[in-house]
Structure 1
Amino acid sequence: MPAQVLAPAPAVTPPRAGRGYWRRLLPALAVLACLTRVPSFTRPLWNPDEGYLAVQARILAHGGQLYETVVDRKPPLVPWLYEAAFAVTGSGSLTSVRVLAVLAQLLTAALLAALARRRWGDRAGRTAGVLYLLVSVGLNPEDAQAAGFEVFILPGTAAAMWCADRRRWTAAGVAVGCAVLAKQTGGAVLLPVLWLCVTSGAARTAAPRLAAGAALPVLGAALLTDPAGFLFWTVTGSTAYAAFSGSPLHALTRALGNAGLLAAACAGLLAAVARAPRAASADLWLWLAASAGAVLTGFHFFGHYYLQLLPPLALLATAALHTEPWARHRTAVLVSACACAVFLTWGLTAPRAELTHAQRVAEAAARRTGPRDPVLIWGMHPETYWLARRAPASRYLTAGLLTNYSGGRDGARVGERYAVDGAWPVFRREMTARAPALIVDDSRGKPYAPAHVPTLRRLLTDRYRVVGTVDGAVLYARVS
């Protein structure tokens, strides 16, 4: 089949009608984006990712350096966004970051609407934008309402497809690079973008521009941080995390559970997605397949990973609905709206057991230390530092970086020997140079408990004593 047959159809809306179209649609999408994110503003934070980012942003704001004085396996864009938001409003609340998340969702919806409108007309544009926002909350609220990495991937991936659809290859590459800088799996969108590049018939000249555009923001970020550290923490140092290990049953249960939640949220779309044309929407099917590959990465199947599936699902549903009777179109929107209402209700009434635990531990840590005292929280809740307003004594904000513990891992591959390469010598130096005034063992029987970590066990035995317990966490004060 000739390449030009697969290319998207030209715009069907007269240019003079464009301004009025967006004047009506953008306010409606903005209202819907705000409504779907209301639950995100109802609690201090939603999950440990938000806590990790908040602590990183505070350290950076006080002169810290990413991949040196604070480390993570993620690229720097989202920590920088948190830092910028805190610079404007202060670091005591995540409200400003939540506003950025609303804007990210609005931008994603608008880009999807623009892409659908160019291919299938005005009504299709409205459908794509509305359907995307309705299904955007279709996961556990801890995943859907958090201002986490995946939320900030989505505008970059949508922009990459928007630019590629218009044959703006350098801009498409830059958008891909920005998606990668939000999280490595944002690079999945490169597959459909490359497809559009090849089928455009201009790959010989377009591919170099696409590659240069993608490389530009990534290389810039590497130079602004530390090139060696950037490469290690975002690529070469994450092999143990990305490798499959742990409990297969636990991973499968999580995968099926989150897939079920997403299917319930997308109940109004799935039948239409199944009817979406294959050849005419080949790039969208590739986008969906590449996003599914991103969900599979590392076999962790956390709920927020599934957010990358939503933009291609919304567009594929729109691809089918735009040629079908109005009744099917209306049904898809109404079913999606009902599902959205259910998930919003869940978000407003969701229990907060882990947040309450972190708040109690943070209060105890704050009572037993001064504002300038470094603290070590040995656990998987870095938000405790942020809630306590205490500086971490180590660049490693969770025990996971020092033991390879993560969701789905069991004791078989958890321990010092599975830590990030070189982490324990650095940790020992930190404990000597800036000994924490308080160590909180928040392992609560997990495989990374001090009993299974010899270096930490010796540290606690030789230099600390138990001074209390809080909600299952054990507090150790330094012996003078």
Structure 2
Amino acid sequence: MPTEIPTPVRLAALTSRLPERLRTGYWTRVVPVLTLLAVLTHIPSFVRPVWSPDEGYLATQARMLADGGVLYDTVVDRKPPLLPWLYEACFSLFGSLSLWPLRTLAIVAHLVTAIMLASIARGRWGNRAGAAAGALYLLASIGLSPEDTQAATFEVFMLPAMVAAFRYAERRRWLAAGIAVALCSLTKQTGGAVLLPVLWMLLQDTRRRGAPWKPALLKVAFGFAVPIALVAALLTKPKGFLSWVVTGNGDYASLGGDWLLMLGRALGNSAILLAAALGFLFPLGHRLWQRYRTGQSPSPATAVRVHGSAGDLWVWLLSSVVGVCVGFHFYGHYYLQTIPPLVLLGVGAVCVSAIAWKPVLLYNTAAACAFWTLALAWPGAQMSQTAQVATAVAERSTPKDTVLVWGMHPELYWLSDRKPATRYLTAGFLTNFSGGKGSADVGEQYSVPDAWQTFDKELSTNGLPEIVVDDSGHAPYQPYLVPRIEDLLDSHYEVVGAYGDTVVYRLRK
């Protein structure tokens, strides 16, 4: 009778048959570590059903699309379509009761971003710099408010395409770079800002090689335009896509608003990110100060070591800052797109200075631990109130009833498992209110064009909603400030519950 070979011996034999490069190669060692780090840093994302209104909006959109809704028609949003479709696909595969599949994909998006950053840094400064860039990105990716970093929202999913666009441009793969910019823009409009460093790198490359720039530019333009045109023309309504994604955001992105509020948010989130990433930003600042003080350029040896000029990274950072500033809202999650170029600039600064890697990594690890602990301990009063309201809505209605949430928390539709009475999932569409700009230019007269006519038609066709949730609190769109909503509540509804500053109305029989 043959002797059974022990399992460890069989595994060792199988491993020995693998190619040497696969067994001991750079990526074989780095990718598992980055994977573990990506999972560990984003474990807190699973402890809450919803982290932000954006998640609630996307989840509600996905259910509407699954029920036959048409994007940019009966389902509207100011954002591009890729992420709503991703939510819809996940719900069709795993059900719509939980966001865990999206949170898992968000971790994958962070991991892919980290691996590509590691590839860029490795090509410029060597193996150690590559591994450090990937790790530092993952540590810094949770260095803002947990509501901004642990949620599965637009900025997280646009980062892989953004870094890919830069990486392809660095390798002179212009068609692929254009496609990556298009995918980034179809996730969120401001992702298109990465086109700026792509074009800058194209011009620098053609100038350095003495080659004509038009063929490369045509490749970038083709790669960028064709995916967007296909999505707009074949997968959505072209007119609706153009209006909602491109031309219809003028009021939302206007200069009007509470400038002190906007400035405070901008400075506050900048300071938080600075504190989270100080480990690699301090060497960068120190190097810039030394160069400014001495007024000297790097030596030839240093220039070789840093793989040429870092001008492309600075242009990338500039484009990311422009993306953060567009709309003048300065929400924390907007700042996620600045992290990749900051990481690469910081890694480059460490590589050309006398600073050791150990204090940089220790500081950023400690900062990440602090933000990780903060995410687990993040106050849940608002979430508890939202859950109470959603439970009350579900108890006072049936699955066939519709609900109107008059506020800025569309997650109530998803948590209560009730259909919206209108395509306008927040009061912002009907009043031009945005949490980032205060009370200026808010009211019926500032709504999306024809929004109120569409709203009235929906209620007339489908019937009045069984439940209305007034979640306006002390906002400048409270019912008494919006006559149509005030008349609707006074004429047809009665109060059936109050939860903090949220009031629940039921249709009067």
Distance (Å, rounded) in 2 between the aligned partners of 1:241 and 1:281: 35
Distance (Å, rounded) in 2 between the aligned partners of 1:357 and 1:300: 26
1:304 aligns with 333
Note the 1:158-173 alignment, pairs <5 A.
158-173=163-178
Amino acid across the alignment from 1:377: V
Deviation at 1:316?
0.5
2:11 aligns with none
1:247 aligns with 258
Distance (Å, rounded) in 1 between the aligned partners of 2:383 and 2:239: 35
Question: RMSD of aligned C-alpha atoms?
Answer: 1.5
Distance (Å, rounded) in 2 between the aligned partners of 1:72 and 1:328: 47
2:385 aligns with 357
1:233 aligns with 244
2:189 aligns with 184
Quick check: 182-191 or 56-65, which moved more? 56-65
Deviation at 1:301?
0.7
1:411-468 residue CA offsets vs partner (Å, 9 max, x unmatched): 3311011111111110111111122111111111211111111111222222223333
| 1:59 aligned onto 2:67 | no
Deviation at 1:284?
0.5
2:476 aligns with 447
Deviation at 1:299?
1.2
2:374 aligns with 346
Note the 1:36-185 alignment, pairs <5 A.
36-185=41-190
| 1:209 aligned onto 2:214 | no
1:217-249 residue CA offsets vs partner (Å, 9 max, x unmatched): 211221201111111111111100101222111
Distance (Å, rounded) in 2 between the aligned partners of 1:446 and 1:209: 48
1:8 aligns with none
1:414 aligns with 442
Q: TM-score of the superposition, structure 1-length normalised?
A: 0.94
1:295 aligns with 324
Distance (Å, rounded) in 2 between the aligned partners of 1:253 and 1:331: 31
Distance (Å, rounded) in 1 between the aligned partners of 2:369 and 2:399: 43
| 2:431 and 2:445 in contact (8 A); partners too | yes
Bigger Cα Rg: 2
Distance (Å, rounded) in 2 between the aligned partners of 1:155 and 1:273: 24
1:372 aligns with 400
| 1:30 aligned onto 2:25 | no
Distance (Å, rounded) in 2 between the aligned partners of 1:355 and 1:451: 26
Distance (Å, rounded) in 1 between the aligned partners of 2:21 and 2:281: 32
| TM superposition outliers: structure 1 runs of 4+ over 4 Å | 16-19, 276-279
1:162-209 residue CA offsets vs partner (Å, 9 max, x unmatched): 111111111100100011011000011111011111111142210011
Amino acid across the alignment from 2:337: Q
1:108-129 residue CA offsets vs partner (Å, 9 max, x unmatched): 0011111111122111111111
Change (3 A) 1:411 1:123: closer
Note the 1:307-346 alignment, pairs <5 A.
307-325=336-354, 327-346=355-374
1:319-345 residue CA offsets vs partner (Å, 9 max, x unmatched): 1222334x5222111111111111001
Distance (Å, rounded) in 2 between the aligned partners of 1:411 and 1:98: 33
Deviation at 1:297?
1.1
Match of 2:424 among 386, 390, 396: 396
For structure 2, the 5+ residue unaligned runs are 1-19, 289-297
| 2:329 and 2:437 in contact (8 A); partners too | no
Distance (Å, rounded) in 2 between the aligned partners of 1:205 and 1:272: 39
2:504 is paired with a residue whose SS is: strand
Quick check: 217-226 or 260-269, which moved more? 217-226
1:200 is paired with a residue whose SS is: helix
2:491 aligns with 462
| 1:403 and 1:418 in contact (8 A); partners too | yes
Distance (Å, rounded) in 2 between the aligned partners of 1:461 and 1:349: 41
| 1:123 and 1:322 in contact (8 A); partners too | no
Amino acid across the alignment from 1:145: Q
Quick check: 260-269 or 409-418, which moved more? 409-418
Distance (Å, rounded) in 1 between the aligned partners of 2:334 and 2:159: 11
Distance (Å, rounded) in 2 between the aligned partners of 1:95 and 1:31: 18
Amino acid across the alignment from 2:264: T
Distance (Å, rounded) in 2 between the aligned partners of 1:236 and 1:420: 12
| 1:366 and 1:390 in contact (8 A); partners too | yes
1:475 is paired with a residue whose SS is: strand
Distance (Å, rounded) in 2 between the aligned partners of 1:130 and 1:408: 32
Deviation at 1:150?
0.4
1:20-39 residue CA offsets vs partner (Å, 9 max, x unmatched): 11111111110010011011
Deviation at 1:406?
1.0
Quick check: 467-476 or 96-105, which moved more? 467-476
Deviation at 1:307?
0.4
1:263 aligns with 274
Match of 1:423 among 438, 451, 455: 451
Size of the aligned set, in residue pairs, is 464
| 2:430 and 2:452 in contact (8 A); partners too | yes
Distance (Å, rounded) in 1 between the aligned partners of 2:182 and 2:58: 20
Deviation at 1:471?
2.5
1:465 is paired with a residue whose SS is: strand
| 1:283 aligned onto 2:293 | no
1:9 aligns with none
Quick check: 409-418 or 295-304, which moved more? 409-418
Deviation at 1:17?
5.8
| 2:431 and 2:443 in contact (8 A); partners too | yes
Distance (Å, rounded) in 1 between the aligned partners of 2:322 and 2:401: 44
For structure 1, the 5+ residue unaligned runs are 1-15
Distance (Å, rounded) in 1 between the aligned partners of 2:104 and 2:331: 23
2:8 aligns with none
Distance (Å, rounded) in 2 between the aligned partners of 1:242 and 1:472: 29
| 1:272 and 1:316 in contact (8 A); partners too | no
Distance (Å, rounded) in 1 between the aligned partners of 2:488 and 2:337: 42
Amino acid across the alignment from 1:296: C
1:240 is paired with a residue whose SS is: coil
| 2:261 and 2:438 in contact (8 A); partners too | no
Q: TM-score of the superposition, structure 2-length normalised?
A: 0.89
